[in-house]
Amino acid sequence: MRYSEQICPRFQHAVEILGKRWVGLILRLLMERPLRFSELAERLEVVGDRMLADRLKELELEGVIERRVYPDMPVRVEYRLTEKGYGLGAVLDAIGQWSEQWVELPEPLAPGATH
Amino acid sequence: MRYSEQICPRFQHAVEILGKRWVGLILRLLMERPLRFSELAERLEVVGDRMLADRLKELELEGVIERRVYPDMPVRVEYRLTEKGYGLGAVLDAIGQWSEQWVELPEPLAPGATH
């Protein structure tokens, strides 16, 4: 099998999972502990409920997170990382460290600043 | 600044750089040593020259690689990683390890196999 055929699809798939908007943050939050939908929504603030639900469903289908239903009253639903999901911790750390060191964001203009 | 506004854009930008097709492989090859265009093209096999040229240009604009021209006869052009580019080594390693452990590729059917 050729070099590029062998390595690229796995790598590509991993990057695609991480490349969808908010996935990095969702996983980062779940690294700390399992969370309910409302807890995730509260911490993510700017992310709409519909988009959050879509991302969670996709991550569940990827086997990265797991949705657990507890038969309390009212029913409690929690999202938690699977072993596969926890394995992404090292990836998130590496990307986080690199981007903090190397990615420059456009600075907001200070009041009175001239460009 | 809110959590999601602070962390996400840098992370997102890093993932976008890596998410373009063949970038992982190009960087992996350049981790070993600087290479000429023809050497990269030969090692990447299935990647067309035009796409390779586009990717190299994008990576150069990102400051991840550097294009060096040596005034030999004929002129020699080499692509090499910058410090920012070498910094991606840890990211590539982490993604590579995770995807090797967790990403399943559809297996080609063995001769005579029935599904």
3-class SS letters over chain B: CCHHHHHHHHHHHHHHHHHCCCHHHHHHHHHHCCEEHHHHHHHHCCCCHHHHHHHHHHHHHCCCEEEEEECCCCCEEEEEECHHHHCCHHHHHHHHHHHHHHCCCCCCCCCCCCC
State whether residue A73 is helix, strand or coil: coil
Length of chain B (residues):
115
- In the DSSP assignment, the letter for residue A45 is T
**Alpha helices for chain A (secondary structure H):** 3-19, 23-32, 37-44, 49-61, 83-86, 89-102
Is B84 close to A102, i.e. CB distance below 8 A? yes
Instruction: Assign a CATH topology to domain B16-95.
Output: Arc Repressor Mutant, subunit A (1.10.10)
Which two three-digit tokens encode residue B67?
């294009």
% of chain B surpassing 70 pLDDT: 86
Q: At what angle do helices A37-44 and A23-32 cross, to 10 degrees?
A: 120
CB A82 within 8 A of CB A65: yes
Q: Find chain B residues with C-beta within 8 A of A43's C-beta.
A: 3
Min CA distance, A70 vs chain B (Å)?
Answer: 28
Min CA distance, B28 vs chain A (Å)?
Answer: 11
Which two three-digit tokens encode residue B54?
């586009």
Delimit the domains of chain B by residue range: 16-95
Q: Find chain B residues with C-beta within 8 A of A12's C-beta.
A: 21, 24
Q: Find chain A residues with C-beta within 8 A of B22's C-beta.
A: 4, 8
Is residue B70 scored above 50 in pLDDT? Answer: yes
B6-54 tens-digit pLDDT: 557 888 899 999 988 889 999 999 999 999 999 999 998 878 899 999 9
- B90-109 mean pLDDT: 87
The complex scores an ipTM of: 0.83
Tell me the sheet residues that pair with B115: none
Which B residues, 26 through 85, put their C-beta within 8 Å of a C-beta on chain A? 28, 43-47, 63, 84
Is B98 close to A14, i.e. CB distance below 8 A? yes
A15-32 tens-digit pLDDT: 999 988 889 999 999 999
B26-39 b/e (C-beta count within 10 Å ≥ 16 → b): bbbbbeeeebeeee
Q: What is the CATH number of domain A22-90?
A: 1.10.10.10
